[in-house]
Structure 1
Amino acid sequence: MKTLTMRVDDSVYQMIKTAAEGQKRNISNFIEFATLQYLTSVQYVDNSEMTEILNDKELVQNLREGLKNLKAGNYTIV
């Protein structure tokens, strides 16, 4: 387990505190919970969206070409 120190504006702190209290969580637990919720809901596509992506043959080909170029060292992900 890691300790994380962060600075937030007073108004943001009050929103976090109110939300944590509303869920009967301490602030630390609420921030962890909210972060996980965000990361799992925003960073990944659902099954219907993935089906739509995979059915777009031109997009799939472009993604494969991009991956090939990345592996060849033509690009750097930052």
Structure 2
Amino acid sequence: MGKTITLRIDDDTYDIFRTAAQAQRRTISNFIEYATLSHVTEEAFVDDHEMAAILKDKALVSSLRKAKEDIKKGKYRIVK
């Protein structure tokens, strides 16, 4: 069953969503759901080709492993 969320946005953002939804003949709710899922699947995750390129970069992988170990040891600082 679908879940309902409340989202507070300014008028300009609402107008952008409304215009984009109308252009795709979607409801605003459906457009926001579609756009969010599209962003998450396209931007937040890497595909197999990208992952292969990352894993092929030995210097990067080594640096990431060292960083992971440093974090476990508490050797990090948060920059604000």
Task: Give the alignment's TM-score, normalised by structure 2.
Answer: 0.75
Where 1:24 maps in the other structure, the secondary structure is: coil
Match of 1:69 in 2: 70
Question: How many percent identity over aligned positions?
Answer: 45
What amino acid does structure 2 have at the position aligned with 1:57? K
CA RMSD of aligned residues (A): 2.2
User: Does 1:42 pair with 2:43?
Assistant: yes
Query: 1:75 Cα shift?
Result: 2.7
Query: 1:68 Cα shift?
Result: 1.0
Query: 1:36 Cα shift?
Result: 1.4
What amino acid does structure 2 have at the position aligned with 1:59? L
Structure 1 unaligned spans of 5+? none
In structure 2, distance between residues paired with 1:43 and 1:19: 22
Change (3 A) 1:35 1:50: same
In structure 1, distance between residues paired with 2:51 and 2:26: 34
Query: 1:8 Cα shift?
Result: 2.1
Query: 1:26 Cα shift?
Result: 1.3
Where 1:25 maps in the other structure, the secondary structure is: coil
Where 1:45 maps in the other structure, the secondary structure is: coil
**Pairwise mapping of residues 12-23 of structure 1 onto structure 2 (< 5 A)?**
12-23=13-24
The structure 1 segments of at least 4 consecutive aligned residues displaced by more than 4 Å after TM superposition are none
